[in-house]
Structure 1
Amino acid sequence: MRARVYEFWELARSSFWFLPSLMMLVGLALFAVTLTIDELHLAGGVLHTLFYSGGTTNAANLLQTLTGAMVAIATVVFSTMMVVLTLATSQFGHRLIRSFMRDRANQAVLGIFLATFVYCMLVFHMVGNDPKNQFVPGVSLSVGFVLALFSTCTLIYFTHHMAQLFAAPEVLETVGVEFDQAIDRMYPDREGDDGAAAPELGHGTQDLIAHDGGYVQAIGIEALLEIAESQGIVIESRVSYGDYVLPGSVLARLHGAELDDETARHAAREYILGRSRMTDHDLLFAVNQMAEIGVRALSPALNNPFTALDCVNRIGRSLAVLITRPIPPEVVTDDAGDMRLIVRVPNFHQLLDAAFMPIRNYGRTSVITMREMLRVIGKLAPLTRRDMERRALARHAETILEAARNGLSERTDLAHIRSCFFDTRRALGDVGIILPEEPDNQRYD
């Protein structure tokens, strides 16, 4: 159940309808409050002089102007969003659409304009045009005027925000923060040693079968743990966050007693599948977003290696946080300490591969990109806590040198990369990983 609620919440906060709809309801509630003040004449005395006190004709004209202006501004805002989004996705990748839609400032600006429009429309409806009904809601009209002024200020902010939002450093920081947040969820900062790795349990007694297809967006850990504990079984998940599941494929393998059909279907529904991947728990997708920015920057169409350089550095910053965290346990136990659930998450070398392999493949002819990758590896080396992380860094350092040998045609460029490799080799040697001066295949002479 919690997984379903989480899925709905993620869809809601990644949409342009949720927050603007809430703000329109706020506009409706504000109208009810101000109209009550007008009808009960609660703003009397000195306060009455602060609000609109003109006739119905002027009030109607003012509200018509405000309402039309809000519609026009909302149209401009939405059109600007679409144009900027089209240009940005062509440069940074279509996966950024979701990150853009999750931006609270864009949702709030659109919501402010729509809420002001709804408010002014309702107030306009209450202005009496009948000679027998000369009711003018002065407080409501004055509040509408203030909202219109505030909306104008919001438009100025929106223009600045849009210009800043799709600058390359800002885009990198946006997706980098998503990666950092995913690391915090999957590799929480806690005291203690690394978590236990899952043992090999064999074939199992029953398989949980997917009845639909899609990317694994969420897994109901608590619900699966409750099922496993109540049935006295172990559930070994065969998929993880971000995996694409085909209809009829195995979601999990059960060890112990077999489940009845209804319980098995209930357990399978705890794997939330969707049409797209989400960065909240999907570490590989989060790092893929950053790598895609670097790959696109290295394409002949853009030819912007400095953005790729920034991308490599931002990835290194996130990985530096990851390698200082304890490895989370793959085994989830019940209150009695018995193993009940196995869920695996990507490790450091998988994330390093996902980040550096595509950038290396497309940037093998870029000296500054290859140099920066070696420098980041050298900076990460003294932060490592485990030999497997050091070996992963060493493997990439050797592969980068090999790629430079195959991709660079100038001797001076290759000599520069060799010099950077020796610096990285020295940093790895300080933590116990001794690299040869050339990769093992000796193809550089």
Structure 2
Amino acid sequence: MRKLTVIRNKSNTARFSSMRVFAEDEENGNINLYGVKCRLLGTLKNGASATYEISEKSAEILFVGSSFSWKHDLPEGEEDVVLEGEVVSISGVGRAFAVKGDESQIEEVSQRIRSKNTKRSTLIRVLAILLVCAAVGITLFRVFRKNKPKDFTFGELTVTLDESFRTESVDVAHAPAIPEVYNSDYSMFVYEYPIIFYSGLEIITVKDFALHFIGSNSLECDGLKEENGLLYVEHEHYFEEYNDTQYYVSFFYKGNESFWMLDFSTHEPGAHRGEITERASTVRFAERAAIEAKDIIIEEFTITLNTGFELVSDEDDEYIYRDPDMVVYVYKMGPSGKEYGTDMMFPTMADYAQTIIEAWELECDGTKEKDGLTYCEYTYIYEDSSTLHFTSFFFKGEKNYWIVEFGTRSAGERRDEIFEYARSVRFTHAVAAIK
């Protein structure tokens, strides 16, 4: 084993407050990011640093934050490694943490994305001038010949376009490939944002994600819009080096594993608007695979969740797991006293729970009992006025008290499932690593 130290230099990125660090690990990885089997090393706040143990094998290190991830290739070796960097803005993509020395690749990503739009836009204009005399003939041709529909699939997402579209990708080292589908009229870029990226409880629905994306990328627009069940935003970007403006309509979706954005790009405002909306409405997702149970083991504590939950943070005795629609907090609290031959301050679980409710200032109706479980229910309001509803369970192990909180967007959502998870909690004397 060797040590990897990551230094995150402080920068003005209020919406990029937490960054997760993943390492490629074919043997022990439990998260799949862009086809790479990874394990979570930890979370870094703005201006912080941390040291992790990693294999001596060559590996990809992924830095995941607001809306885009950046990959750094780490060669095989025995020497300890230090990676220093900061969050930067990549034009056409968003913000990402980039390691010092990767600046040329960052600029390459930005230029590749910009040049694809602007060069194709210029070509379209030239062709339009050359073909203006044939406009009537082209119109008649389109009346009698319509391109056949054609499905394009990217991971779990499928969209129906037609046979006139071609597929390319902005594929640059150190960055995930960005698929592009285009014809002579407009382009469509496909962006995937795995739900595992967003451990923050405020991002659960597709609307949560869309608002977060608009804010984190500082899009100058008229806000999020909705039409026929589609969430979208309209914005534009001027590329000074090409003296060209691109106009975008960005549609947001939520699949089983990821949030998605389809970015339609034209060289005229409102061009092909009806057709673009029609294309966007054809998006559908593959059915979710059968979900099995798995044990989460943290020292003496074990809980059985389903395989849809992934670990997104484990700092300071606080463990966060989430699936697309629910977040689970596991807190390791103070000692229970059994190891000292006494039950200490709390004769019952209800007494302990009430103490926590008062200490955390939870607005609830007090403790409740069901199936031998002690719990409470409350609603948390975030700064942006969004809410999450929590069901919190209190447990006592051989060494420590434990609290497990289940958060959902709606009160009562997945209630039976939540209680089934809570009933699965048990304690052992053995100390085991987190699975």
TM-score (norm 1): 0.21
Comparing both structures, which one devotes a greater share of its residues to helix? 1
Comparing both structures, which one devotes a greater share of its residues to strand? 2
The structure showing larger relative contact order (alpha-carbon pairs under 8 Å, at least 6 residues apart) is: 1
TM-score (norm 2): 0.21
| Larger gyration radius, structure 1 or structure 2 | 1
